[in-house]
Each structure stands twice: as C-alpha cells, then as structure tokens.
Amino acid sequence: MKLPKGFAGSAVRAGLRKKPGLDVALLVAPDGANAAAVFTKNLFQAAPVTLSRAALKKSRGRVQAVVVNAGCANAVTGAAGDAAARRVQELAAELAGCPREEVFVASTGVIGVVLPDDKVRAFLPDAFARLSAGGLEAVSRAILTTDAAPKVARATFRHGEGSCQVVGFAKGAGMIHPNMATMLAFVTTDAAATPSLLAGALKEAVDESFNAISVDGDTSTNDTVLLLASGKAAGPELKTMDEAAAFRAALAKVCGELAWRIVRDGEGARRVMEITIEGAASEREAKLAAHAVATSSLVKTALYGGDPNWGRILAAIGRSGARVSTGKVSLNAGSVVLVKDGAPTAYREEQAAKVFARERVPLVANLGVGKGRARLLAADLGHEYVSENADYRS
C-alpha cells in the first residue's frame, strides 16, 4: 500500500526507544496540504500538542511536513520540553523549505521526560533524503510503542470524473478511552478540500471512531488525529459537507478500521466487546452506560475469560448515572436474549458462552426509558495487560 498522490514518507532510527527499531517518522507533502486536527482533552497536554495546535492556527490549516517520534512523549516537561519540540520543528522547516508553522510535530512514549531533540535533529536530514511514496510501511512502524503491529487502512471514493484515495495509519494499544487516548493517527487524501471542510468531516469521523473506543479507561497527554489533503487528484475542491458525502464515507471507513485495530491490539487483549446502548433517556446517558460497561474491571475480566456473566454488565449500567427502567431493561449477546423485561430468560448457557468466546462480542442493552443510543468498542482485561504496564519503564 502506498501513500496518496502528493505525499511521501520515510522513517529513521534515532535511538529514542528502549528496543532497537525505527522511532522517527517523517511525512511530507512537497507542495503543501490543507489540514485539520483533533487533539486530546487531557489538561496535561504535551509540548508537541500545544505547539502543533498553535502552528495549525497560524498557518490557517496548511501543513507541509509532519515529524513524529516514538519513545518519548515530551509531556509534562515545562519550558525545556517546549524548546525541544520547537527546535525539531525549526529544523524540519529549514529542510522542507517552508514556514515553521507549516511543520506539525507529534510524540508518543513515556511521560515526564524531555525529548532528546539532538538525536531527532541528527537524523532528520537522512529522513528527508529517504522520502518516497512507498514510505507508508516505514512511517506506520516508526510511531509504534507497545503495539503488536502497524495499523494501516485505505478507502477510495469517486469524485468528479475520477477517484480519490484516503489512507491512514495509527498507533495505540493502551491508555485508550473516549476523548482519545495514547494514540496517534494520520490520515491522508489526494482529494482537494478546504481546511474548514476537513475540520467538520474529521470531527464527525472521530466522534464515531477514535472517540468511541476504550481499552483501559485512561486518556493520555499526546493524542492527535491529523487529516491532510494534498489536492493532487482530479476533481473540484470539496467545500461543504453535503457535496463531500463520498469523502466523508471513505474517511469514516478508514478511521473506523484504525479504531477497531487499536482496540483489538489492546495490550494483551483476546476479545473486543461491541457495546450498544439503546432506549436511554438521551445520547449522553447512553454514553454514560456504555462507558461504565467498557471500564468495569469485572466485566472486562469476564470477557477475557469468555464468561457470559451478564450480571456484571447490568450492575455497571445500574451505577453509571443513566436512568434505567428496571422492569423493562433487556440485554442481548448476539442473537442470545439474556434478559427481557428486567428478568433473565430461559437461554442456554452454552449458547451464551459461544458468543462470549468470539473475537468480537456484540452486546445490546435497552434501558427502556427513551430513544437515546450510543455505541462503543472496548477491549477485555487480562494478565498480559498487567505485565506490560508493570514493566513499561523498566
């Protein structure tokens, strides 16, 4: 798989991570690209987040180069961290031949350590020399931390007399929860689109994908989703949401696939539960219920064991703050009806166990009080998660 027209990528090893491997990714649009981004809502926002947000505003949604490092989050690092991120941005701008505000920087890794930017800057010229349209595989690997494998997705859509591509890559396996998490995602398209259209389409796609997943209930300091449009494909510039329906569908597909891969790759995860809450008093209350189920250690450990212990699910919903009609509530696991009108049904345990043994476990709870609805993907919780995070800095 290659990057869309108008983009080139490369990656180098700068020695930032504990284990050997690529750790600095470079994504360039030689002629520039219109851009939009969504960032973490964590109050402790990393230096690259604050710097890139300001740069994107100053450039009015134009980006020419993206520098991403793994192995160091450069978060909660004060003035020293800000200066380190800025030095990387300045050198990249010099090498790309563009204004500093058209360079977007991102980081992921351990919090509380200042980025050793001298290592990054030492290898940036080499990264620029290695740029190619076939650099997608390298950049998708260079941004990983505890991920088991790269996460890449692609979709095409018809536009004008031809077709356009949407290609994205992402990282994330732990610290994943709505309002994003310790994840980065970069989505590129060769379609022409205004920054305002990109912003609207990205928010829509993120709300249904990256902001609807959970691994462990934690959100991080560095989360970023960046959308870039080179405009190198044929077709008129997309300006409104109505005329961009095909693009929005392709973007949603790519973001949805990347989000699924993040949850499935949750540290030590065996299974993913697809939680749908229906019949809530409002969308907000549906989300409250879904989040309670997604973050319940009891539910997640039962899921890890493939145990259809549905009482834990209703108990989580009952403490979520969402209103529930206890006499009308229902709960289904796939085609198996576990609870109806507030009471257990005469289902067969082995049928329920088969559903809970799947890689993807569909759960639908109807709270019986309204029309609010929400959907969330969540990973299980097992021994491997504890081992991975107990030794993360060791």
Which residues are CB-neighbours of 259 under 8 A, at least 6 positions away? 209, 210, 212, 213, 377
373 burial type by CB count under 10 A (0-12 exposed, 13-18 middle, 19+ buried) = middle
Which residues are CB-neighbours of 350 under 8 A, at least 6 positions away? none
- Strand positions, DSSP E, 148-285: 151-159, 162-171, 184-189, 213-214, 224-229, 272-280
Catalytic residue, candidates 40, 77, 182, 189 = 182
Query: Under the phi-then-psi rule, with left for phi > 0, alpha for psi from -120 to 50, and beta for the rest, what region is 160?
Result: left
* Dihedral angle sign, alpha carbons of residues 288, 290, 293, 296: negative
Q: Residues in the chain, how many?
A: 394
Give the whole-angstrom CA distance, residue 152 versus residue 143: 12
Give the whole-angstrom CA distance, residue 331 versus residue 288: 16
228 burial type by CB count under 10 A (0-12 exposed, 13-18 middle, 19+ buried) = buried
Give the whole-angstrom CA distance, residue 353 versus residue 184: 35
210 burial type by CB count under 10 A (0-12 exposed, 13-18 middle, 19+ buried) = buried
- Please confirm, yes or no, whether 182 is among the known catalytic residues: yes
Backbone angles phi, psi at 223, to 5 degrees: -55, 130
**Where are the alpha helices (H) located in the chain, listed in sequence order?**
47-58, 78-96, 117-129, 136-142, 195-207, 245-264, 283-295, 297-304, 310-318, 349-356, 383-390
Catalytic positions, written as ranges: 182
